[in-house]
Structure 1
């Protein structure tokens, strides 16, 4: 990660939205920092690329911000200087939230309607080291590559420390306002403290890389806070 927080000027700012990390709320704040024609958001990478290639040069040059559920590497579409930021979450909490989110929307996600929690953890790819996959940019990730990429991010936020993360992003990215309301919250889900040890162990066994990456992200987060305090006091 870069040595101190700074305001980015010409870089294309890319928000890597990892599912169920508070990203919908964060994206609403991110979007408000730009004019409509400056913000580019397509859910599927192939759709993003095809739509981008259809734009004229003026519209391409107007784009300043990109957001979506993209793996690291999406910047290659744009052929411009870039900088990523993201929000991570405790891997056990993220998987639990994801499962109950899918369960709460059977019309949108019908294949999860009758899937048990154990089946979800064992079979669904998003329940297996999803954060590491996205940051490494690979469906079969390595932790070293994920850490290497993460160090290049302009800001790394933590869902569990959401407001502190927003302040860091405001300083680093020059945001004007941080007003928000929580969006896309998974309701009727058990707290981590209420889960059985067996289920927690099952999630942990399937997310060893994410656990290691999250611990590393916590270290980087503390460094960001320290750098921000030093800058404030100087």
Structure 2
């Protein structure tokens, strides 16, 4: 009799060799078979150039299939964080533009810096179209990181030294369950930016009003 534990696939053995991705990453199965994060929220990476996108689909246990897409002159990366604060040696998957072909790296993010680290990843595929980087891969996610904050970032890449520059974050979610494909994953950075813009506009309006009242009293 097969037990549930026996049915779970073993952890993936590292193989980060990259083969060609023949089909474009798309959002067709979002909310159904895979969890998706995107900026803008409704963008489709198969058609839009300005679309930062990450899809995660559980294959077995802590093994997941990922799709990552975005525009960058250097690299695009997906980070899984245990909390809402980026850093603290967060697991990060990096797809870089290596002179027109994708090169894959495992890394950890700490204090705004990426440090290369071997991660259990295989079946890596990628392609470069202009500035758009797309890659798919399978990975064994650390068990405690199946509930994680997702972030998507870009940064510079030096192909001569494999050096990864400091990441710029374009998408960051609250904690989500990677095993659940249904939730809508929102970008906290957009909310923060919107709130800051409103606050700045109100402040500017108040200063303008005070200025006008001051002139009328002269």
Fold in common (TM above 0.5)? no
> Which band: TM-score by shorter chain?
under 0.3
Structure number with the higher helix fraction is 1
Structure number with the higher strand fraction is 2
TM-score of the superposed pair, with normalisation by structure 2: 0.25
| Rg (Cα) greater in structure | 2
If asked which structure has higher relative contact order (CA below 8 Å, sep 6+), I would say 1
